[in-house]
Amino acid sequence: MNSLKPLVLTVAAFSLSAVSFADPPNPDTTRGDRMIAAYFEAETAGLAEQCLAGIDTREQWESARRQYRRQLLEMLGLEPLPERTDLKATITSRIDGGEYTVEKLHFQSRPGLYVTASLYLPRSRQGRVPAILYVCGHGASKKNGVSYGNKATYQHHGVWFARHGYACLMIDTLQMGEIEGIHHGTYNRGMWWWNNRGYTSAGVEAWNCMRALDYLQSREEVDPERLGVTGRSGGGAYSWWIAATDDRIKAAVPVAGITDLENHVVDGCVEGHCDCMFMVNTYRWDYPLVAAMVAPRPLLIGNSDADRIFPLDGVRRTYEKAKRIYELYDAGDKIALNITEGGHKDTPELRLPAFHWFDRYLMGADRQLEDSAEKPFAPEQLKVFAVLPEDQRNTEIQETFVPVASEPNVPASAEEWASMRANWRTALEEKVFRGWPREAAALDVREVFSVKHGGIAFRAVEFTSQSPIRLRLYLVEPVAPAKSARVVLRVLDQEEWNDWLAAMQVTFAAELKDECLPEKKDEAAFAGVVQSVVEGEQTLAFVAPRGIGPTLWNQTERKLTHIRRRFMLLGQTLDGMRVWDVRRAVQALRSLDGIDAAPLVLKARGATGGMVLYASLFEPEIAAIELIQLSGSHRDGPILLNIRRYIDIPTAVALAAERSLVSVDDSDDEVTAYARAVAGKLEWKGPRGIRGQ
């Protein structure tokens, strides 16, 4: 194969059918399972429809592209870009490969953030040569507990490039490098606070790639204007990050590193990928937009037809949308799709077209090429460090890579507070809760049942939180007087839901027959509910947000993890959408005759209390908020996208206390101290502030 065809490369016969990770239909799936599946399909379809919509001219694209570049950097934790500190590049030794040399080196992309690498250089060269940044996939090379880096696994790529006249810098990744960091925060380590921080390990890889280009451009052997990037699997993803964010890349060949949200979210491919594959999707992108960011630079997308974690149908959709942007530049011949036969493997059929692509666009050559995949070096030979550096920050970089908001000052005036509040409100709307519906659906409140017994009325209504999310409100009211003195909305977590069912089934088992009732009835708890309603002349309302109680979905650990990760890919979090559910429950309550004008109290505990806290900031006239066991920091929940970039729980308490009377049942005053200080300084009057201050 001497040259590339300009558009779509077909190296082998293949089937166009995608391999789906979605579970087959199961008659035993719950209402919650069906609901969340329909939700993900609808949300994904909406984002796919929005992707690159309205871009019809080159001028429109170039105007939008500047904003898109900034958004992508922000979603990688790189806006503003960190300081380009001294790389402190160090060559520890060299290997003589005959036709080439290998320099074993390390540099620091940030102080203490080490990148270990192999630089393959052709021995015979005239002038400066083009250079390839090769970013490795997940290919661990480890013996007796010692990691030699995935650069040892992928060494044959560096060898080939050097033998054919290129410099090739092969860098280790954060995970599986010689210093083993973490890619898998949300994948299997339960580090959901990464979402709060707006952190993704993809950001570290993108930054390391940028600094790798800095290093390449510092080398006298390298032509700084002829830089390319390639890699497969994880390396394919990192190829996208650097090509999309850094115009120094003049040609790119990402292999098995991208597909669209439909594959990831609906078909379930997210379950096969760690966090380094995804940006924090604040701006709710679909992945063709990442691909389009490379235009009009030469881009060859490599993939095989039976790759289960990068299904072909999504790869094709991504390519086709990106190609439309290339055509705005009359550069349709500079984007191509190389499809080969097989699964998720590193094959000659994927490598050879990549080599030809770089020859064409970086060498200006059309050579007869052969693939050679020898790995001449033992992993030990490519090891950079004899002893790992004590000042390394790789293993804990997730703690500092994205800065968090500093503790706010107590405002000196009402005007200063108003400015602070406005900035926080903007951040909440644009960065934290951007995944909320742009337009709320009709509530469509419908009564499910209504019965009376022993001086109380018990009824249920259903309402639409967000299509297709239908939730249920249960109300326990006094039969007389006609109107309640106040309404208390209790937002339940799963344990509280089970306890509530145990109490209410004492008398209302028939009405609750659709729920999974516990074996034991709690008569004392039921008596307490009746007493609170009758003697307190108040209405008690109960709601379980999505995924709890009536809409409970699959509870296996793996399924729960990847449901939460699907929300993340959609630019949401599960907790963030539960805040929306609380808001909608408040709106549904206020639509009901007889209690619409009564003072409303919100009550919840733990992380759910945090959700109620934020919901109160967006709903008017919340008389009081009663929070039990509220966490002092978002690190312990609720998990809200990017929240720690802007505020933490104590600030949210202060924002709520300006609007409502807030009661926090905590063991110390750390949660409420800031709110008390602000309330005291600004002399808040009336039914607001912190109860007991």
- Supply the CATH number for residue 662's domain: 3.40.50.1820
pLDDT, one tens digit per residue, over 133-179 is: 999 999 999 999 999 999 999 999 999 999 999 999 999 999 999 99
Give a yes or no: residue 455 inside a domain: yes
Query: Which parts of 441-568 are beta strand (E)?
Result: 446-453, 456-466, 469-478, 486-491, 538-543
Give a yes or no: residue 379 inside a domain: yes
DSSP state of 634: G
Whether residue 446 sits in one domain with residue 391:
no
Give a yes or no: residue 131 inside a domain: yes
pLDDT tier at 128, thresholds 50, 70, 90:
very high
What is the per-residue pLDDT for 596? 77
What is the per-residue pLDDT for 693? 53
The answer, yes or no, to whether the previous bond of 80 is cis (omega within 30 of 0) is: yes
The residue-averaged pLDDT of 78-85 equals: 97
Whether residue 466 sits in one domain with residue 323:
no
Using CA of residue 214, residue 220, residue 226, residue 232, what is the dihedral sign?
negative
Portion of the chain with pLDDT greater than 90, in percent: 90
- The dihedral region occupied by 364, where left means phi > 0, alpha psi between -120 and 50, and beta the remainder, is left
Whether residue 468 sits in one domain with residue 326:
no
The domain boundary residue, chosen from 399, 414, 449: 399
Whether residue 453 sits in one domain with residue 395:
no
Give a yes or no: residue 365 inside a domain: yes
What is the per-residue pLDDT for 22? 46
- The dihedral region occupied by 379, where left means phi > 0, alpha psi between -120 and 50, and beta the remainder, is alpha
pLDDT tier at 471, thresholds 50, 70, 90:
very high
pLDDT, one tens digit per residue, over 399-445 is: 999 999 999 999 999 999 999 999 999 999 999 999 999 999 999 99
Whether residue 459 sits in one domain with residue 572:
yes
Cα separation, 461 vs 491, in Å, equals 15
Whether residue 451 sits in one domain with residue 373:
no
CB count within 10 Å of CB 24 equals 5
Whether residue 469 sits in one domain with residue 385:
no
Whether residue 353 sits in one domain with residue 471:
no
Give a yes or no: residue 457 inside a domain: yes
What's the total number of domains in the chain? 2
Cα separation, 23 vs 14, in Å, equals 24
Whether residue 481 sits in one domain with residue 337:
no
Give a yes or no: residue 51 inside a domain: no
Cα separation, 123 vs 125, in Å, equals 6
Give a yes or no: residue 525 inside a domain: no
pLDDT, one tens digit per residue, over 616-638 is: 999 999 999 999 999 999 999 99
Element housing 690 (H / E)? strand 689-690
The domain boundary residue, chosen from 347, 369, 399: 399
Task: Provide the greatest CA pair distance for the chain.
Answer: 96
pLDDT, one tens digit per residue, over 232-266 is: 999 999 999 999 999 999 999 999 999 999 999 99
Which tokens is 348 given? 């000659």
Give a yes or no: residue 294 inside a domain: yes
The domain boundary residue, chosen from 342, 377, 399: 399
Residue 245, SS3 per DSSP: helix
Whether residue 245 sits in one domain with residue 186:
yes
Whether residue 444 sits in one domain with residue 379:
no
Whether residue 342 sits in one domain with residue 213:
yes
Residues spanned by the domain of 167: 8-15+56-399
DSSP state of 511: T
